[in-house]
Amino acid sequence: MATIELKSTERLDDLQRNGYKIIQDPERFCFGMDAVLLSGFASAPEDGRVLDLGTGTGIIPILMAAKTPASELIGLEIQEESADMARRSVLLNDLQDKVKIVNGDIKEAGHLFDAASFDVVTSNPPYMIGGHGLQNPDAPKAIARHEILCDLEDVISAAARCLKSGGKFYMVHRPFRLAEIMVLMHEYKVEPKRMQLVYPFVDKEPSMVLIEGARGGKSRITVEKPLIIYEEPGKYTPEIYDIYGY
């Protein structure tokens, strides 16, 4: 493992997978459970190429490098400071031959990468519509959470352009956007094929939705059994412990 210098506000977190660690800055944005659940929901074929749109600090490519046989994983991130953390995490884990970080805009993905060149596209995009009520729309946390620099259609259209025919798209989002997600995926011919709702507790409303689509797939979707996060306050269900690798 390479020696990487941390900046004053950064920390090093253990990912509990293959000994991998990730550099994060709490003053900017730290990955959440949604990214971990997406990496557990997604899969990649042997020697496959994976593109993660809006990779942040590289959490999804690094976790998927640990759990899939993909040969190349590329993370696209518009914020240079986050991309820099992701690059250093890649070096820290000696993954530079497998994982690459590109500083660029999701809206330009179709120009940055060859069309129909990826087997898998993943994304944990901003969930909130627009910048309503934001004090500072240029703040890194605001950009990660709100559709300021890209929106849902930008993400799905980029995935459609970059995916091979039959390639898989995996995304985590919020259930209140589900109708819009389904319409856009169908419109861009990334047909929804699999869905799983994530509930904080068994008796609460779902807080996340995991979606798999297939480029050019036929219209048929499988709804998997609900994924429950907590058995009781402070105690994860066995399914969550398994995804986290504990």
131: pLDDT strictly greater than 80: no
CATH number assigned to the domain comprising residue 34: 3.40.50.150
pLDDT one-digit tens code per residue, 101-121: 999 999 999 999 999 999 999
pLDDT of residue 134: 57
The span from the CA of 201 to the CA of 143, in Å, is 29
Residues 6+ apart with CB under 8 A from 164: 116, 117, 118, 119, 215
pLDDT one-digit tens code per residue, 214-231: 999 999 999 999 999 999
Domain count, the chain: 1
Could you tell me if residue 217 is inside a domain?
yes
145: pLDDT strictly greater than 60: yes
Could you tell me if residue 85 is inside a domain?
yes
7: pLDDT strictly greater than 60: yes
pLDDT of residue 133: 55
Average pLDDT, the chain: 93
Could you tell me if residue 98 is inside a domain?
yes
140: pLDDT strictly greater than 80: no
Domain that holds residue 238: 11-244
Could you tell me if residue 4 is inside a domain?
no
| Percent of the chain's residues with pLDDT above 90 | 84
Could you tell me if residue 219 is inside a domain?
yes
Could you tell me if residue 3 is inside a domain?
no
129: pLDDT strictly greater than 90: no
Prediction pTM value: 0.94
pLDDT one-digit tens code per residue, 22-70: 999 998 888 999 999 999 999 999 999 999 999 999 999 999 999 999 9
- For 2-10, the CB contacts below 8 A with 24+ separation are 2/91, 2/92, 2/94, 4/88, 4/89, 4/91, 4/92, 10/85
Could you tell me if residue 2 is inside a domain?
no
Could you tell me if residue 161 is inside a domain?
yes
pLDDT of residue 58: 97
Label the pairing between strands 163-173 and 118-123: parallel
Residues 6+ apart with CB under 8 A from 241: none
